[in-house]
Amino acid sequence: MTYVNLQLNPERYTGYSGPYAKRIWDAVYLDNCPKYLAGEICPEKNILYKLISGLHSSISIHIAADYLLDEALNTWGRNLTLMYDRVLKFPDRVDNLYFTFLFVLRAVTKAANYLDEASYDTGNPEDDLKTQSWIEQLVYHPKLKFACPLPFNEVRLWKGKGEPDLMQQIQKQFRNISALMDCIGCEKCRLWGKLQFLGLGTALKILFSVNSQEHLHKMFQFQQNEVIALINLLNRLSESVMLVHEMWPSLEKVMGKQVSTPSDQPSMTGGHV
């Protein structure tokens, strides 16, 4: 097993782009969401496309937020034009970013008891205690509870027609996506891609359980890397949402025109699932 310090390997621009990167994303969408792109209207099945699109938006935002502006001078900063061209000028991409954030937030709040009682082995007893304390502060923070009381009804979501088959299908698709991440030629891109898709798969695993917190605790035993991936994904998504709101005033100056604000985007709490 290899341990990687994510703080020393931040999610940022790496130079990995062009046809190779596009080929990976095309495979992620086309191999796993062909019916959704063709106009599948079933909300239960459309959820996978929304989650992938939302994560894609988040990754693009982080690349643009920490971009190599001048290679000769090694100057890093925010590339607002790239952020606008890849994400912000597309309302549906911003919409899906918010949805994915709320989806993962809902999973963390639902698994609060499990996450609080889980053991965290970092190899350093002092860091273990700090991690346990930070997790407790996160999952029981009052703002977290009120920020995500019920962004969607997952009970209704997974109880539709063909529900067991739907769960198996989505789980299989996430295994396919994880395999696709292994094809990425950029090591850091592969690291963050696999980590965040594992986090998304863990969130789905939690929300596939539609019963009580106690039942969730008894049914699931998450691996430590799944918990790490889930918490890091929540961090990435929350920072992406923050960046969207922070960058809007500067974006209008760069683009030289008025740009619709995030508050003008469709609500994430109604009408999706």
Q: Which residues are annotated as a binding site?
A: 12, 14, 25, 53, 56, 86
Q: What SS3 string covers 212-257?
A: CHHHHHHHCCCCHHHHHHHHHHHHHHHHHHHHHHHHHHHHHHHHCC
Strand partners, 68: 76
Examine the residue annotation and report whether 33 is marked as an active-site residue of this protein: no
**Residues flagged as binding site for FAD:** 12, 14, 25, 53, 56, 86
The token pair that represents 262 in the structure block: 């995030």
Q: What SS3 string covers 43-82?
A: HHHHHHHHHHHHHHHHHHHHHHHCEEEECCCCEEECCHHH
Closest CA to 196 of 74, 62, 89, 86: 62
Strand partners, 76: 68
Closest CA to 93 of 41, 58, 45: 58
With a CB cutoff of 8 Å and minimum separation 6, the contacts of 95 are 265, 266, 268
Closest CA to 232 of 260, 206, 193: 193
Catalytic residue numbers read 186, 189
